[in-house]
Amino acid sequence: MTDADLAEMLSAIGVSSIQELFDRQIPADVRLGRPLDLPAGLPEQEVYAHLRDLAARNVSAEDEITFLGAGMYDHYVPAVIDMLLGRSEFLTPYTPYQPEVSQGNLQAMFEYQTAISELTGLPVSNASVYEGPSAVASAGYLARLANGKPKFVVSRGLHPHSRETLATYAHGFGAEVVEVPLKDGVTDHEAWAAAIDGDTGAVFFQQPNFLGAVEDAAALSAAAKDSPAVVVGQYDPIPLGILKPPGECGVDVCVGEGQALGNRLDFGGPSFGFFAATEAYLRRMPGRIAGETVDADGRRGFVLTLQTREQHIRREKATSNICTAQALNALAGVVYLSWLGRQGLVELGELLLQRTHYAREQLVALDGVAALHEQPVVREFAVSLEGVDVAAVIRRCQDAGVNPGYALGREYDEFPDGLLVALTEQRSKADIDRLVEVLGAAVAAERGATVGASA
Amino acid sequence: MQRDRATTIFEKGAAGRRAFVAPAVDVPEVDGAKLLPPAFRRDAEARLPEVSEPELVRHYVKLSRRNFDLDTGFYPLGSCTMKHNPRLHERVASLAGHSRLHPLQSPERAQGALELMYNLERALGEVSGLPHVSLQPSAGSHGELAGVLLTRAFHEDRGQVRKKVLTPDTAHGTNPATVTMAGFEVVKVGTNEDGGVDLDDLRAKADETVACLMLTNPNTLGVFDPNITEIAKIVHDVGATLYYDGANLNAIMGKARPGDMGFDIVHFNLHKSFTQPHGGGGPGSGPIAVSERMKPYLMNPRIVKADDGSFDLDDHGYEKSIGRLRGFQGNYGCFVRSYAYICSLGAEGLTDASETAVLNANYLLAKLKALGVLDHLPLAFGEVCMHEFVLSGSPMKRDLGIKTLDLAKRLLDHGYHPPTVYFPLLVDEALLVEPTETETKETLDGFAEALAAILTEAGTDPLIAQNAPYTTPVRRLDEAAAAKRPVIRQPLPA
C-alpha cells in the first residue's frame, strides 16, 4: 500500500491512524502491547532456500527404493495432474456456493462421484471427506444417526489409524469399539460373527486388510445381515480394478484413503477420503454432493444438492460438521482415474498382483524370512523375520538404499517380527530383486549379530 | 468464462482409447486365477472414462474456464478470508523432499519435516497466545471437533458429566454441528444490540452443566466483543472451557491473542489466515492451540525436540490424549505453505496483514456510505468494524424489490464474486463482506461502485437483477429441482 493510499483511506474513514481502529474496538487489557516473538520476515529467495534445506533433510521416495506403504503408496503422479491442479481456476476458487461461476468445480465433483460409484459398485458417493481414517469415523457417525446402536465391531485388519480415529470420534457420540482378532492373516470369522448382535450399530473391516490379505468381504458382510449393523468397508481403491466391488459384497458404506489416486505422499496429507453408500444412506452422507439440474435457459448445469444434510443449513441437525473438505484432491482423483481409464485400472491391478506375488515368493525363499500368512495378496504383503530385530534390519536395508517396508510390531504386539512390504507400478522387478538381495543380507547379518550377542 | 453445453468426461472418448501406458509385467507371470480366486474377482470393469491425454487435458482445462477464481477476481467473502495465495508456496511444497516424503518414514529420516512442523507449532502458539499446538486436524471444523472432545476429556478427567455447550446465535454452522457430533447438547446464547454476547443471557445459561462456550472474536458480525474478559470469567467461574473459533483470526494477528483473552482452546484455519489456497473447497487445515490445563488431552503423536536438537514423534507424548483424529501427521502439504508464509512475513508482516485487513474493511465501509449504498443496505451493527462487516438487504428488498440473492447474482455480471449471503442468520437479508488485506484501494473502489450501480439500476428496473446473471457460463440454476429428484452421477451405458 502506498502512503498516498493510506492517507486517503484513513481520511475517508475519519481516523488518524490504523491503530485508532483497533483502539476503538479492542479493550486495552487484551491488546498485545508488544511485537510478536517471531523472526523477521525474509525475501522470497531466502524462504525458498530455507524450505529447500528442510526438504533436503528428509529422505523421500526419490532418495531410496521404497517399499513403505501401510496406508499411503508411492504411485506415479502423472504430469497432467500437476498441470491441471496448478491452474489458478482449480487451485484458488472458493467452495462452489455460487454455482453460476463454479460450474468447473461442480461438474468435476459430479464426475468424481460417478467414478467413485463405478469403482465401488455403490450408487451414491459424496464429493470427498478429509482422508481414510476420518472417513471410517464419519461412517461410524452415519451409523449412529441411522440406528443409534452403541457397539461398533471392528476387525483388527482395519488400519490402526482408522481404529484409533473411530474410537476417538465414537467416544464423543457415545459408541464403544470392540475389536475382533485376525486368524491366518484375515479377520477371524467365528469371532466376528460371535461379536455381532442386536446392539451392533456398525461393523468395520478393511479390504485388502492391513496385512495385505484379501478378506472374504461377502462373508464378513453376510455375518451382519441379521443385525441392525451398517456394514462399513475401508477399501484400497487401486486393487478395485480387479477385486470384487464392495457393492456386490453386501457392503453398505465403502470408505477409503484416496491418496493412491493421483495424490502425492506429502508426509501424510493433504489427500482425500472417499465415501460411497447404498441408496438408503443418501440423505445421511457427510460432506458435499453435486447434483445435475438446468438453468433458467434450460441448459445443463450442476449445483450443490441435498444441502439440508449440511452444517450451514441444519446446524446441530446436520449429518456431519464438515465444511472444508478436499475438493482439489478429489479432482486429482477423478483426473487420475480418467488418465488410467477403464482398462488401465485393470492392468495396474494385474501388474501389482503379479509383482506382489513375485516379491513374496522371493522373500520367503530367504533364510530367516517366512510368510506371515498364505492369503491372496494384491499390492502389499506381510512376512515374518523370525525373531530378529526388525528395526535393525530396516536400518541396515536403508543404509543400502532400500526401504524394505513397515515394521508391523509398531502397531501389532502379536507380530513383533512382522514386516509389511508394499508394491506400486514404480517398483520394478529389478527393484524387487534388489530388495531381496539387501533384505537377505540384512537378515543374515542381524541373525549373526543376534547369535553373536547371545553366545 | 467458457460457455458451451456441459458434457462430462464419461460422455467423451471412445472404447479402447487411453492416456495411461502400463509398465510391462516384468516378473515371471503366474496365472492370475491362481493368485486371486475368481470368487474375489471383479466380473465387470468399472466404467471409467476412455480418453486420450489430449482429450483429458482439453476437458479439464475447459472445465477450469467455467470457474471464478481468486487469481482473476475479487472475493469479498465474509468469514472465509480469501486472500492472495503466493505461488512460492506451491513451489516449495512441490520439492520432492516434502511432496514425496512417506508419512511413516522413520523420524530420523524426516528431520526436516519434523523441524518444520515444530517451528510452525511454535509460531501458531505465539500468534494465539496458547503455547501447546497440535497440527493434526484437517480443517477448521475438524479442529472444532478436537477442541470439543478435549473439553469432554477435561471434564471426564475431573469426574464430571457436562451435557451442554453454549454457542452464540451468530456462530458458524460448524459449531452446533460439531457440538452434536461430540455428543453434547447445543444451547444458544443471544446477541446484544452492540453485536456482542448478551451477558445477561450468558449468565442465565452458564451453570455447572455447561461444558464449554464456543466463540468467534471478532465474531461473524465483524464485532470484537469488548466484554471478552467478563465472558471468560463467567465461563470459567462455572468450570467450563472457552473455545475460540479462529475463522476470524486474520483481524487480530499481532494485535490481540485469544490466550490473553482467556480462551482455553483455539483452532486456526490455515486456508484462511495463512494463505493455503482454498482449492474449490479444500484441502484445509485446522491446527489447534491450547492452554496448559488442556495440554494433557491433545492428540498424539506429539512432536518432541531432544536436547541434541533432533526431533521425534512420540505416540504417547500427551498422557491423557483423546487419541487420533485422522491418519498420519495431518495435512503436511498445507503446513509447508503456511510455514513459508510465516517465514516471508515475520512478526511485523503478520501484524501488518491484520492492520491492512481492518483498514480495507473500514475503508470499503466508508466508501459504501459515501456512495449511498448504506441507505439501502445499512450496517447491521456498530459504526466501524474489524476485518469484515454485515449489511442488511432488508430495506433494499422493501424499497427496490430486489433481494440480497439478486444483488449477489448481479455482482457476478460485474466480475465480482459475491460476499457471503444470508449469514449470519440473525441479520435479515444479510450480506457479509470481507475484503482482506491483499486487495488494493482501486479494487475496493471498483467493488463499491459496482454495488452502487446495481442499486441504481434496480431503482429503474428490478427485473434486471432478479433475472441475473447473464454473462456466466450458465444462468441462474434450479436448485430445487436438483434436490427433488437427485441426479448425482452420470448415467452410463452397460
Tell me the ipTM for this assembly: 0.97
Nearest-CA distance from B400 to chain A in Å? 23
A124/B66 Cβ within 8 A = no
Mean pLDDT value across residues A127-141: 98
Nearest-CA distance from A455 to chain B in Å? 31
B482/A292 Cβ within 8 A = yes
Mean pLDDT value across residues A170-185: 97
Give residue A424's pLDDT band: very low, low, confident or very high (50, 70, 90).
very high
Distance CA B316, CA B301 (A): 6
Picking from A30, A130, A348, the nearest residue to B139 by CB comes out as A130
Residues of chain A neighbouring B26 (CB-CB closer than 8 A): 428-430
Q: Which residue in B224, B171, B164, B230 sits closest to B200, CA to CA?
A: B230
User: DSSP letters of A153-167?
Assistant: EEETTS-HHHHHHHH
Strands (E), A160-223: 176-180, 182-183, 186-187, 200-207
Mean pLDDT value across residues A331-355: 98
Q: Is A336 on the interface with B (CB under 8 A)?
A: no
Q: Torsion angle, CA of A89/A94/A99/A103, rounded to 10 degrees?
A: 20
Residues of chain B neighbouring A332 (CB-CB closer than 8 A): none
Give residue A153's pLDDT band: very low, low, confident or very high (50, 70, 90).
very high
Picking from B178, B271, B280, the nearest residue to A96 by CB comes out as B280
| pLDDT for A454 beyond 80 | no
- How high is the pLDDT of residue A455? 45
Give the residue from A5, A48, A88, A89 with the most B CB atoms within 10 Å of its CB, the best one to mutate. A89
Q: Is B135 on the interface with A (CB under 8 A)?
A: no
- How high is the pLDDT of residue A1? 87
Nearest-CA distance from A174 to chain B in Å? 7
Picking from A40, A308, A403, the nearest residue to B348 by CB comes out as A40
Q: Is B345 on the interface with A (CB under 8 A)?
A: yes
Q: What percent of chain A lies above the pLDDT cut of 70?
A: 99
Q: Is A16 on the interface with B (CB under 8 A)?
A: no
Nearest-CA distance from A228 to chain B in Å? 21
Positive or negative: CA dihedral A178, A181, A186, A189? negative
Residues of chain B neighbouring A40 (CB-CB closer than 8 A): 346-348
- How high is the pLDDT of residue B5? 81
Q: A 169-188 residues with CB below 8 A of B?
A: 169, 171-174
Picking from B10, B104, B327, the nearest residue to A132 by CB comes out as B327
Picking from B139, B328, B366, the nearest residue to A323 by CB comes out as B139
Mean pLDDT value across residues A91-106: 98
Mean pLDDT value across residues A224-252: 98
- How high is the pLDDT of residue A450? 72
pTM value?
0.98
Q: What percent of chain B lies above the pLDDT cut of 90?
A: 98
Give me the residues of chain B with pLDDT under 70, please.
2-3
DSSP state of A289: -
Residues of chain B neighbouring A333 (CB-CB closer than 8 A): none
Q: Greater confidence, B4 or A400? A: A400
Mean pLDDT value across residues A246-273: 98
Give residue A453's pLDDT band: very low, low, confident or very high (50, 70, 90).
low
